[in-house]
Amino acid sequence: MNPAEVLKLENVEFRRNRRVIITDVNLTIRAGERWVLFGPNGIGKSTAVGMLATRTFPSEGRVFILGHQLGKYDVFKLRTRIGLASADLARQFPPFEDPLDAVVTGLTAVTGRWQDTYTEEEYERARGLLRDFRVSYLEGKQMWRLSEGERTRVLIARALMGDPELLIMDEPTTGLDLGGREQVMRTLSRIGEESSDRAVVLVTHRLEEIPTGFDHIAIMGRKPIPAEDATDEGVDAMGNPGAGTIVYSGALEDGLTNARLTDLFGMPIEVEHSHGRWSAYAV
């Protein structure tokens, strides 16, 4: 693995209950790059994220993270070098957890401050991150009482707590209203435009939620089912659609074309790029 390569997936496949969820996934992400992982719901994005965050292992193929092959290195050592913000992670916190503790425990990649101890300097860094994201008023409250927007910003602050080499944000604007979404988008744009060697991966199924500063994209689509195995409805004999795979990876502007998204969603799509933001409409 090239030292500049933060992530490398080689011919990755993942199966669950004999069903192939993703297959033939190949992707390389280098230090300092800002990537969007884009695709329809149910295509396997969360499965791919599970591997990138060391929570899931491939059934076939190889995954290299920060110079180490997944499955052949201590994942707990890797997790302290990876910042993760996701709805699945949010559900793992004790409901009465103080948001300040949720942030500071990002240093050790645990959910729930049990017997761990942290220095006052580390707590001050956590408070500084909460201030940066304008949620310092949440200190002393409880995670279960937070709004979706507040929880999202706490999770992003936590993901940055350990100054990670790899930052992964999985659908960070899901469930937010317009105001909450735009507040989070400002945060994401700041991350996208920062000058650092940190590799960043943002997962989304909506073009409107691609922040400025992100200039690479991996688009996931379905691998066609062989004609001899497909039914008239385009699924296999068990009723399953084709497995997810990466159909394009490269420059953002080259990837988000009318033709590509029309093929991806099976309807005529028109893509627009205005004021630094993307959008798409059925025509």
SS3 label, residue 182: helix
Q: What's the pTM?
A: 0.89
Q: What is the pLDDT of residue 225?
A: 66
Phi, psi of 228 (to 5 degrees): -70, -15
pLDDT truncated to tens, each residue of the chain (283 aa)? 555 899 999 999 999 888 889 999 999 999 999 999 999 998 999 999 999 999 999 999 999 999 999 999 999 999 999 999 998 888 999 999 999 999 999 999 888 887 788 999 999 999 999 998 889 999 999 999 998 889 988 999 999 999 999 999 999 888 788 888 888 888 889 889 988 899 999 999 999 999 999 999 999 999 876 555 555 455 554 556 678 999 999 999 999 999 999 999 989 999 999 988 999 999 8
The enclosing H or E element of 115 equals none
- The answer for residues whose C-beta is within 8 angstroms of residue 201's C-beta and 6 or more apart is 7, 29, 35, 36, 37, 49, 52, 166, 167, 168, 169
Instruction: Pick 5-81+165-282's CATH classification: 1.10.645.10, 3.30.70.920, 3.30.2270.10, 3.40.50.300.
Output: 3.40.50.300
Q: What is the pLDDT of residue 242?
A: 78
Ordered by start, the domain boundaries in the chain are 5-81+165-282, 97-163
What's the rounded Cα separation, in Å, for the pair 86 and 155? 8
